[in-house]
Every structure is written in C-alpha cells, then in structure tokens.
Structure 1
Amino acid sequence: MTSSAIPRQRWFRILPFIFFMYMTNMMDRNNIGFGFAGMEKDLGISATYAGLAGGIFAIGYMFLQVHGGLWAERWSAKKLITIAMVSWGVLATLTGFVQNLTQLLIIRFMIGFVEGCILPATVLLLKRWFPLTERGRANSFWMLSIPASAVIMSPLCGYILTVSNWRTMFIIEGLIPIVFAVIWWLNVEDYPAQAKWLSPAEKKYIEDATKEEVKNIQPQASAAIVDVLRNRNVIVLILIWFLTQTGFSGYTIWLPTMIREFTGASNLSVGFIAALPWVAAMIGIIVNSRHSDKTGERKWHVIIPAITATLFLLASTFAAQAGYKTLAVVFLVCCGGFIQSYYGIWWAIPTTFLTAEVLAVTLGLVNALGNVGGFFGPFLFGFFKTLTNSNMGGMLFLVTASILAPLLLLLLRPEEQKTNTTATTIAVDK
C-alpha cells in the first residue's frame, strides 16, 4: 500500500485526544510559576522554597514510571490514564486551598506521583497505533501539546491573576482534567483491534507494519530493572534526560518570573508574552520532526536544536545583565523555539529496538531517574536567585546543564546483541 493510500483515521481519532490529555497534564505542572509571586506573599516563603515547591513534583514523578509502563502494557493504558487524570485534577484543585508550605509541598509531591505513569503509558499507546515510519511525527504531534498548553495557559493564568488570585487559578485549572477524563474514556482504545470506527484497510496496515517491526527487534532475555541498569547506553540515556529536564524545568517554571523582571509588565501582559516561546516551540517541533522522519536521522536532530536553545538562553542572560531587557526577552522566545523541538524524536528512538515489556521498563527508568533533574532545575535556580539576588546565577546553572545534555549523546555507541544477554542493547541512529 502506497503512503498516499494509507487510511489516516487514527490521526484524527487517537492523536487529538492524546494531545488534549497531555495538554491538561502540562497545565498543572507549569501554572505554579505564575502563582509564585502571590504564594510567596500569602504563605510567607522565599524564592528558594517556591523553587522547592516547583521542583518537588519531580521527586513524586519518579515512583510510578516503571510500574506505570508495565501496567499500561499488561493491563490498560486507557484505564490507567483515566484514573491518573481524575487524581491529578483533584490534587491540582486542592492546591488552591493550601495554607502553608508543608501542605503545598505534599500536594505538589502527590501531583507528581499520580502523573508519573502518564509518559510511559502514552509512548506505548502511540507505539501500538503508529508504525515506525510515522512515529517521529506522531510523537512530535503529541509533544506539541506541551507548548500548546503553555500558549493557552499563560494568558489564562495572567487573566485569572488579574481578576482574582492564585488560589482561584489552581481551582479552575484543576477541574479541567476531571472533565476531560470522561471524554478520554469514551473515545480512546488501547489497541487498533478494539476500535470499531477503524476501517479494515487501516487496521490491516497497522497490523502488518507492527509484525514487520517486531521481526526486526532481536529477542530480549530480561525486563528486570537490575538487568536494564547494567546496560551502559541506558545509563547514558538517563544522564542525558536528567540534564535535559534540569534545564527545561528551570526554564519553564521560572519563565514568567524572568519575563516579569525583564519587562516590569502586568500579570496579564506577562501571560501573553510568556506564550510566545511556546508558539515558537510548536513551529520548531513540526519542522524538526518532519525533517527527521524524512531523512531517517535522529541523533543530530536532537543535538543541534538542544545546543542552539542553550546558546539563546546564554545570550538572554548576558543581554539582561547588560541592560538590554527587551533583547533578553527576544532571546528567551528564540530559546523556546528550539528547547522542545527534539522531544518527539528522542522518545521515538527506544521504540525502534526494544520489545514491549523491556521498552516499558526502560522508558520508566529513563523518565523516572532523568526527571529528578526536574527537581534540581527549579530548586537550584531559585537557590542561586536568592543567593545572588539576580537571575544570573540561576541562568548559568541552567545553561551548564543544558549544554552537557546533548553532548552526552556522543557517548552512545552501538552494541552487538549477544545470545542470552540482557534486554536493553541500544542501537544508536545514524
């Protein structure tokens, strides 16, 4: 079947629901950055503890990564995500009622805990519905939900803070995933074979492509965590994702604060300005993923955008210090255009060489241990901001982490799969 003749119902019946599900997921991760100013005042906390509240999410996020991936594979990704959506919606709403730092930290930790299963479950769901030749674009469309969420959330948060306060913001935005969980349940299926709306031609195409893909994956002996962690390339992938999330989480959570300090704008104006980097990110994701799928190249489609984003972040730091605040904001927007443009490509790579259960464990480990960087990024940015009484120290920390991450990709090496060895041999893309 030629590419033009392949039915494409799944692109309109599966991807949009995954897109909106993850968009609501990202909303409650990042809106805390807009609440920092009011929370610091009302709860009596410093920027260091505000950063701790933003980062402790990543600690809770670790716990269900591996188990979430296995539950999604052995039980149901659809049901698991439904339960998680309702849970994080309730917890996000409760954030609007916290009275002290302890309550805030507990709520943020629990939000991370229940959301920990989402990414591995989503990767596995997309793997079932989109063959390898389409997966870079499918994953990147999913990743578009992250900047799209920020584009919508930033002005929304700014508006709510203008007419009300941070408590109202958390309550309103926490109700959204609860409502969407019902829509998700009614429209998404775990496997193409379960979808009554899928045409026979499209179903056969997915089944044939899946069988061909499985034939090219070597048999793998073990999905045990201890075996996975013995693999050198898995360790490198964890380090890369750790440093990537350190830089990205710090940038994301502190972006509204930096823009406010650079511009002196109102909450509403900051909301609209903070949406611009994510508009740029959406363009970057589309362009980079299309080119990667077209050429079949993966590694440099990660390295080049990651380093470019870091250079813009560094330029923003020096522009702000030199007094060119408008230029600093422009550089922050440019940074946003590259900082996520490779995420879909990144998550497509492991799906090309791992069987389902081994992939579930590997995804969970990489995302769980790597996302600990999501704790250090916001926390240490806040720490250095408090220490130096400026953004310089925090920004240089983020830049250092962000420049090291893509360079570690050069340490990945192809390995020969040996009989009866562990499951996670990683073949590096050209």
Structure 2
Amino acid sequence: MSPAEKQELALATTRRRPAPHGFAQVLKDPMIYLMAAAYFCIIGGIYLVNFWLPEMLKTSGVSDAMPLGFYSAIPFITATVGMFLVGRSSDHSKERRWHSAIPALVSAASLAAAAMTSNSLGLLLLFISIATAGMWMAYTVFWSIPSRYLKGISAAGGKLSGKPSADGRRHGRRRVSPRRD
C-alpha cells in the first residue's frame, strides 16, 4: 500500500461509523416497502409486455410469424433509445426519483390506452412502444435509488464492486488485482 492509501485507511478506521441497518430495522422502514412496491409495479409491467405482446398483436390482426416478430421488436427498439436518453439525463442532472417515477406513470397510462385500442394495430404499437420504453426507463434509473438510500455495510459492498483502485484496476465482481507486498 502506498503511504496515501495507508493514511486514508487509518483515517477511515478511526472515524466514528453510523450503526449499520439491521434486518429488523429494515423491516420497520416504510421506504423499503415503497421501493418494493415500485419495483413490483415496474417489473410487473415489463413481464406483461414480454409475455403478452405477441398475443396482443395477433388480436389486432397480425397473423403471420414474420411480421409478428418485426412488430414485436418495435417497442424494444424504442425502449433502448429511451433508456439511453433517460439514463444520460438522470446522470447529468444527478436526479433519480423523477427520472424513474415519470416514465413509470406514463407507462401505466400507455398500457391502459393500449388495452382500449386493441383493434387498431398502429395505435396499439404506439401505446405499447411508449409503455415499454417507460417501463425500461424507470427500471434503468430505479436501481440507483436503493443504493443511495441504504447506508452502512450494504452500501459499502456496492460501492467497492465498481470502484477502480489507485493503479486503475477494478476490484470486486469484475477482476481481482494480484496482491503485492
């Protein structure tokens, strides 16, 4: 270890640490339940589209397999573009909640509209594309919220897994540096 790393380690071990969240404390925290409910709604919508999109397209008049596959790809192409743009905007503004909540709400409204327009292929694809993009945008930004909320040991593990060391190597899940003495 370099002298700067030794000094940083000594300073970190002498600081007073907040008490880590215990399991009982987490169960008493209403914000955990709010995040769980939000995640359930987002992932429920994602699974709805993944499982039922081909059937919805069939009821709107698409019967051949090749066009069905092409039409099924449109919402996910839209979602890919949306995920990139919202993730970039969220990182630029350092704001997470509204970048997850607004796409989720737009997605819910679009799913409701898609359910009412199953006779028109164009409108169905429009609303399903907006809904799919909104769900995946909300999902992308959502996972930065719990890591910012949780403190203590659970947050430290998440930070270490993606943080490069002083020599530029990554530790944690990606690659472990050889030990040098």
The two structures share one fold, judged by TM-score above 0.5: yes
Within the alignment, does 1:242 sit opposite 2:40 as a pair? yes
2:76 and 2:133 in contact (8 A); partners too? yes
How far 1:352 sits from its partner (Å)?
2.6
Superposition pairs for residues 136-155 of structure 1, below 5 Å? none
How far 1:359 sits from its partner (Å)?
4.1
Partner deviation per Cα, 1:313-346 (whole Å, 9 max, x = no partner): 12211112xx323322222122222221122221
Letter matched to residue 274 of structure 1 = S
How far 1:356 sits from its partner (Å)?
6.5
Partner deviation per Cα, 1:86-133 (whole Å, 9 max, x = no partner): xxxxxxxxxxxxxxxxxxxxxxxxxxxxxxxxxxxxxxxxxxxxxxxx
How far 1:245 sits from its partner (Å)?
2.0
1:263 and 1:326 in contact (8 A); partners too? no
Match of 1:274 in 2: 72
| Structure 1 residues 360 and 317: CA distance shift in structure 2, 3 A | farther
Match of 1:226 among 3, 7, 24: 24
Letter matched to residue 53 of structure 2 = L
How far 1:275 sits from its partner (Å)?
0.8
Task: State the structure with more CA Rg.
Answer: 2
Match of 2:81 in 1: 283
How far 1:355 sits from its partner (Å)?
4.4
Match of 1:305 in 2: 103
Identity of aligned residues (%): 25
Match of 1:316 among 95, 110, 114: 114
2:49 and 2:132 in contact (8 A); partners too? no
Higher RCO, Cα 8 Å, sep 6+: 1
Superposition pairs for residues 126-205 of structure 1, below 5 Å? none
CA–CA separation in structure 1 for the residues paired with 2:99 and 2:23: 29
SS in 1 for 2:28: coil
Match of 2:135 among 328, 339, 349: 339
The structure richer in helix per residue is: 1
Match of 2:58 in 1: 260
Within the alignment, does 1:296 sit opposite 2:63 as a pair? no
Which runs of no fewer than 5 residues in structure 2 stay unpaired? 158-181
Letter matched to residue 326 of structure 1 = G
How far 1:226 sits from its partner (Å)?
2.6
2:87 and 2:137 in contact (8 A); partners too? yes
SS in 2 for 1:312: helix
CA–CA separation in structure 1 for the residues paired with 2:156 and 2:49: 28
CA–CA separation in structure 1 for the residues paired with 2:120 and 2:70: 20
Which runs of no fewer than 5 residues in structure 1 stay unpaired? 1-206, 362-430
Match of 2:172 in 1: none
How far 1:264 sits from its partner (Å)?
2.7
1:289 and 1:342 in contact (8 A); partners too? no
| Structure 1 residues 342 and 242: CA distance shift in structure 2, 3 A | closer
SS in 2 for 1:263: coil
**Alpha carbon RMSD of aligned pairs, Å?**
2.7
Match of 1:327 among 123, 134, 137: 123
CA–CA separation in structure 2 for the residues paired with 1:249 and 1:236: 20
Match of 2:147 in 1: 351
CA–CA separation in structure 2 for the residues paired with 1:360 and 1:256: 42
1:288 and 1:301 in contact (8 A); partners too? yes
| Structure 1 residues 353 and 299: CA distance shift in structure 2, 3 A | closer
**Aligned residues between the structures:** 145
CA–CA separation in structure 2 for the residues paired with 1:246 and 1:219: 38
SS in 2 for 1:297: coil
TM-score calculated relative to the size of structure 1: 0.31
Partner deviation per Cα, 1:122-152 (whole Å, 9 max, x = no partner): xxxxxxxxxxxxxxxxxxxxxxxxxxxxxxx
1:350 and 1:359 in contact (8 A); partners too? no
